[in-house]
Amino acid sequence: MKDTLLVPVRYVFRGILFFAVIGIVAAFHRHALSAGRVKILESFFLTVLADGPGIGFFSLFFALLVSHFSIIRRPGLKTLSLVLLLATATVSLYFGLHGLSVLRGGARTGAALPGSPPPAERLRKTAEAYLWVGDTKSTPLRTILLLEPGKGSAGFKLYPEGVYNAEKETLRILQTGRELSLSPGNGEETPKFLAPLFRDVAYAASIATPGTLFDPKSGIFVLAFVFFGFSLWTLARISRWPLFNMWIVFGVAWLTLMGVRFVGTVLAPELARLGPIAAFLPALFPVTFGLVLFLGGLLLPPLKAWKRDLRYD
Amino acid sequence: MTRNAITPRKTLFVVYLGGFLVLALQSFLSLPILKTGAPRWIIGNTLVLFTGAFIPLHTAALLFGYSLYFKTGELFQESGRHQAFLATVKSASISFIVLTAFYMALLEGILPAGVRIRDEVTRRNAEASHLLAQARSALEEKRYTDAVALLERYNRILPDDPEVKKDREAAVAGSAAQTGRTVRDGDVHPDLPPQGMAFQDFLARAEELFARDDYIGAEHNAAMALKLDDRHPGPKRILAASREKISRASPGRRERENIEFFRQKRVGHDLLERGDYITAFYHLQKLQADRPDDPEVLHYLEEAYRGTRKISFFLDEVPWEPHAGVDETLLFLNRRDAEGWEFISIRRFLPSFGGETRYEKPEPDVVLRHQEGEGNILSRLGRFFRSSGSPSSSPGTPTGHFALDIEGIKISSGGEKIFHFKAPYGKFIEDSLVMRCLDRGRRNASFEPAYLLGEAPDSSPSLIRLGPSPEDLSVLSAGLSRARSLNGAELLTVSKTFSRLGWDPFPVFRLFFDRLLLPFSFLTLSFTATAFGLRLRSRYLGRPPAAAFLFLPILPFLTGLVFEVYRYVCSPFPAAVLAVYGFPAATAVFFVQQGLLLLLSLILMAREVRG
């Protein structure tokens, strides 16, 4: 019984742990990308404010999947464990995302986070051009040299002044009004395999995050995702090879998130003529998958006999 | 315990090596410019791909092997007690350490060498293709001497290419027909004059020709001897006597032509003496077209060409620009003085392998050196594995470096432009970038830098003194466009060059730590994969079903994904310390972090082994 009651506690703990780890890693990345100009703590809060819902969604959804394997391995009342897990996941995902969304909204209206301009007298490559700034101590920055690659005759351009925007990481050339992004733009920030995962998670988080405390549309999406995550329980014991089960659970979860983004961004606009229901189409994907898996799970042997057969007990 | 992973490891390595070989072959076939060097290019590319996938392949093999084959009985003694931890993991640990050393050799030696070989073969083939196209065009236009010279440069890059044999034969035969003599294959211009003729040589030749009643030749040689010593009575006497004989003889058309030819030769010589090499070159080239086998003209032409090469270069020397999908712009701080900052940008920095046109037959020792450059198998192997401090070093050393679309600017401390120029072509000669590009066939079609503002900073408007050498720029180019394929030592060299040439070295240091992370990751992830393999071991009662083996080739894709996450998680901590406290502190943090992760992986493994 103790193990059963600890299931929601462990789930929440895992969710918080994943959130903290991802947040810290992302904060250090931000800190390193700004070449130390944005302090670590500042960077952590900036990360939580900017990407909080995405990180929160991933952490809680991932914790739900990990919990399945934990329930399989540990003793306890399985049905009650799963019901408790389902309830805790729904509540924590809905309110967790809402809380993070409120934090983000507050930050938007707050003061800009402090930062500092690029280093003086150093060449650097941005996504759009090569850049060199002579004097970064003054405001606005002085003596800005730009070189746009691949433009042939465009060549060097020298501007007397520009204004650095720490929040957007841009440099605005005062003479022309052009806004130049200072991000390196070489794809080094995110590894190539992870970038699509980040995009899928960010999209799922964006549709599941409640704008207000009572947001039925987001509620439906949260329920759809939690139900789908819950139904992956079937795949967690699909074979006698846990390694395969684990990969198949995470693989199907990602494929579904990919499908959700595809339906939401590619198909839903095409099907807009269906009316307001089109907005809910992305939820159909995890719900349908979830139902298939849930019903498939009913055909599997009872858990107790399965565990005995696999010598888990 | 080790044997569980041996079969999956072998299977994955062999299957993926085969797959990468096929991929490399496919890439090779899609590049029509590659005519030779196929084995080197394909092997180089295969090794690059294999090294990149080494960690995912190994972790997949461990996960698969331990989760499918491991018997829990291996953990226990006959008495039923647990085996000692160290005894259990000893063989696995040793194999991981040995494989880590092998992986380091792949990373530090094979990967950079593979990339270098691939790039070098591509560049050499591109230049050869360009030269061949030029040679065939010269053949069509019946410019046989040019065709022979171009094919000679082509042969220096791709010796013994049977495809050009016919072109070469046609060029040699055409040249021979034009000059009315037989040219041996392999010789551009036989019967060359003695090198560096002295006063006594001219005088002796003048006397000899006068004795043979060749007064025109005698007059010319006497005049040349006088140029070297105008007080000596010998040449004065022969000159006067020859002129008298010529004036009395009332020369015919042929003699008049000879007189004019000798006069023009002396004009060429005078131009050379005045140091007007470019005018001399075009003048002598015209004479050479009239009498292609005149040894003196050839000698002077070579001298003029050598002089010209110090202050200019020819358009046909510029290597063909291979298509590049990526931006290869080179931008650097050239000079910094009290007045301001001087920047140079080069859209394309190209090494050349074909050498230059030779007007004279090369000295035997030059030919020998060229042949020795090919090397035996040991020296070739040595070059293959060589990893000097310079990322630019390659098995085929470039014979020159060229720049396309050059732009220079100097900014004063107050932020004003001091000068600004653009030039279409440039060649690196000694410590300068020479931007006067000549067309060998047309005197007036030269390319020079255009000054949009201000005046040239150095002695001539067609050159600019350079702070960095071509080797520095090769390092900068490597750092900007293919830093990920450099080894650790090369990345440290790149970081120093970056600092010197006005770049922020921070991204290079980040790449250095990323590279340093790989062998540590290999060891740590090997232990972790073993632990997870044991934890997620299969519960099949008998042999695993055949379908389970279909999962083996897919598994490296999944472990590759996890490996990317691992790298992403590990990389920001040293990078953050680097940004604030510098390189030594970041190195210390890196080693502490990796030590902790290795310890954690051992704890995970111990937990699974000890239950």
Residue at a domain's end among A163, A181, A199 = A181
With cut-offs at 50, 70 and 90, classify the pLDDT of residue B534: confident
Least confident of A292-296, B143-147, B159-163: B159-163
Q: Are residues A107 and A229 in the same domain?
A: yes
Which of the two residues, B133 and A311, has the higher pLDDT score? Answer: B133
Cβ of B589 under 8 Å from any chain A Cβ?
Answer: no
Cβ of A34 under 8 Å from any chain B Cβ?
Answer: yes
CA-based nearest residue to B345, from B334, B356, B354: B334
Domain assignment present for residue A119? The answer is no
**Least Cα separation, residue A77 to chain B (angstroms):** 23
Maximum CA extent, chain B: 125
Instruction: Report the distance separating Cα B144 and Cα B128, nearest Å.
Output: 18
With cut-offs at 50, 70 and 90, classify the pLDDT of residue B592: very high
Which of the two residues, A131 and A31, has the higher pLDDT score? Answer: A131
What pTM was estimated for this model as a whole?
A: 0.72
Q: Are residues A242 and A276 in the same domain?
A: yes
* Mean predicted confidence (pLDDT) in B105-131: 78
With cut-offs at 50, 70 and 90, classify the pLDDT of residue B372: very low
Residue at a domain's end among A151, A181, A211 = A181
**Whole-number pLDDT of residue A128:** 80
* Mean predicted confidence (pLDDT) in B319-324: 64
Three-class SS state of B326: coil
* Mean predicted confidence (pLDDT) in A239-258: 90
pLDDT tens per residue across span B19-46: 888 888 887 777 655 566 677 778 888 8
Q: Could you tell me how many helices (H) and strands (E) chain A has, helices first? A: 10, 6
**DSSP code, position B160:** T
Q: Taking 70 as the threshold, does the pLDDT of residue B47 lie above it?
A: yes
pLDDT tens per residue across span B422-454: 998 999 988 889 998 888 777 777 888 888 888
Q: Tell me the pLDDT of chain B averaged across its residues.
A: 79
Q: Are residues A149 and A45 in the same domain?
A: no
Q: Taking 80 as the threshold, does the pLDDT of residue B359 lie above it?
A: no
Which of the two residues, B469 and B153, has the higher pLDDT score? Answer: B469
Domain assignment present for residue A87? The answer is yes
* Mean predicted confidence (pLDDT) in A112-125: 68
Residue position matching structure tokens 């006597």: B241
pLDDT tens per residue across span B479-516: 777 777 778 888 888 888 888 888 888 888 888 888 89
Q: Taking 80 as the threshold, does the pLDDT of residue B275 lie above it?
A: yes
Domain assignment present for residue A45? The answer is yes
Q: Are residues A206 and A97 in the same domain?
A: yes
Q: Are residues A30 and A51 in the same domain?
A: yes
Cβ of B17 under 8 Å from any chain A Cβ?
Answer: no
Which of the two residues, A187 and A269, has the higher pLDDT score? Answer: A269
Q: Are residues A97 and A231 in the same domain?
A: yes
Q: Taking 50 as the threshold, does the pLDDT of residue B142 lie above it?
A: yes
* CA dihedral (B54, B56, B60, B66) positive or negative: positive
Residue position matching structure tokens 């997870």: B532
Instruction: Report the distance separating Cα B570 and Cα B513, nearest Å.
Output: 10
Q: Do B579 and A34 count as a contact with CB atoms less than 8 A apart? A: yes
Q: Do B539 and A311 count as a contact with CB atoms less than 8 A apart? A: yes
Among B70, B504, B558, B608, the residue to mutate for chain A (most A Cβ within 10 A): B504
Least confident of A11-20, B92-101, B187-196, B258-267: B187-196
Q: Taking 70 as the threshold, does the pLDDT of residue A54 lie above it?
A: yes
Q: Taking 70 as the threshold, does the pLDDT of residue A313 lie above it?
A: no
Cβ contact A225:A208 at 8 Å = yes
Q: Are residues A159 and A284 in the same domain?
A: no
Q: Do A184 and B507 count as a contact with CB atoms less than 8 A apart? A: yes
Instruction: Report the distance separating Cα B59 and Cα B67, nearest Å.
Output: 12
Domain assignment present for residue A118? The answer is no
**Whole-number pLDDT of residue A106:** 57
Report chain B residues whose CB lies below 8 A from the CB of A237.
Answer: none
With cut-offs at 50, 70 and 90, classify the pLDDT of residue B179: low
Query: Rounded to the nearest 10 degrees, what angle do helices B295-311 and B253-274 cross at?
Result: 30
Cβ contact B206:B238 at 8 Å = yes
Backbone angles phi, psi at B520, to 5 degrees: -65, -40
Q: How far apart are the first and last CA of chain A?
A: 16
* Mean predicted confidence (pLDDT) in B296-320: 82
Cβ of B345 under 8 Å from any chain A Cβ?
Answer: yes
Instruction: Report the distance separating Cα B596 and Cα B604, nearest Å.
Output: 12
Instruction: Report the distance separating Cα B470 and Cα B476, nearest Å.
Output: 10
With cut-offs at 50, 70 and 90, classify the pLDDT of residue B593: very high
Q: Which chain A residue's Cα is nearest to B549?
A: A244
Domain count, chain A: 2
* Mean predicted confidence (pLDDT) in A100-111: 62
Cβ of A190 under 8 Å from any chain B Cβ?
Answer: yes
Q: Are residues A212 and A231 in the same domain?
A: yes
Which of B343, B347, B575 has its CB closest to that of A145? B343
**Whole-number pLDDT of residue B6:** 74
With cut-offs at 50, 70 and 90, classify the pLDDT of residue B72: low
**Least Cα separation, residue B180 to chain A (angstroms):** 48
Instruction: Report the distance separating Cα B297 and Cα B79, nearest Å.
Output: 98
With cut-offs at 50, 70 and 90, classify the pLDDT of residue B522: very high
Least confident of A231-240, B71-80, B259-268: B71-80
**Whole-number pLDDT of residue A185:** 56
Q: Are residues A105 and A141 in the same domain?
A: no
Report chain B residues whose CB lies below 8 A from the CB of A134.
Answer: 341, 411, 415
Q: Which domain holds residue A263?
A: 2-112+190-309
**Whole-number pLDDT of residue B193:** 41
* Mean predicted confidence (pLDDT) in B558-562: 90
* CA dihedral (A135, A140, A142, A145) positive or negative: positive
Strands (E), chain A: 124-125, 130-135, 141-147, 156-165, 170-173, 179-181
| Contact residues, A window 116-135, toward B, CB-based 8 Å cutoff | 119, 121-125, 130, 132, 134
CA-based nearest residue to B380, from B394, B392, B370: B394
**DSSP code, position A153:** T
Domain assignment present for residue A117? The answer is no
**Whole-number pLDDT of residue A26:** 84
Cβ of A241 under 8 Å from any chain B Cβ?
Answer: yes
Q: Which chain A residue's Cα is nearest to B571?
A: A29
Q: Are residues A45 and A130 in the same domain?
A: no
Q: Are residues A88 and A229 in the same domain?
A: yes
**Whole-number pLDDT of residue A109:** 43
Q: Taking 50 as the threshold, does the pLDDT of residue A187 lie above it?
A: no
Q: Are residues A200 and A141 in the same domain?
A: no
Q: Taking 60 as the threshold, does the pLDDT of residue B369 lie above it?
A: no
The secondary structure of chain A in percent helix, strand, coil, rounded to multiples of 5, reads: 65, 10, 25
**Whole-number pLDDT of residue B527:** 92
**Whole-number pLDDT of residue B569:** 87
Instruction: Report the distance separating Cα B395 and Cα A185, nearest Å.
Output: 33
Q: Taking 70 as the threshold, does the pLDDT of residue B529 lie above it?
A: yes
Q: Tell me the pLDDT of chain A averaged across its residues.
A: 81
pLDDT tens per residue across span B328-345: 788 999 988 888 899 999
Which of A123, A145, A193 has its CB closest to that of B564? A193
**Whole-number pLDDT of residue B342:** 92
3-state secondary structure B270-306: HHHHHCCHHHHHHHHHHHHHHCCCCHHHHHHHHHHHH
Which of B417, B501, B536 has its CB closest to that of A243? B536
Q: Taking 70 as the threshold, does the pLDDT of residue B225 lie above it?
A: yes
Domain assignment present for residue A90? The answer is yes
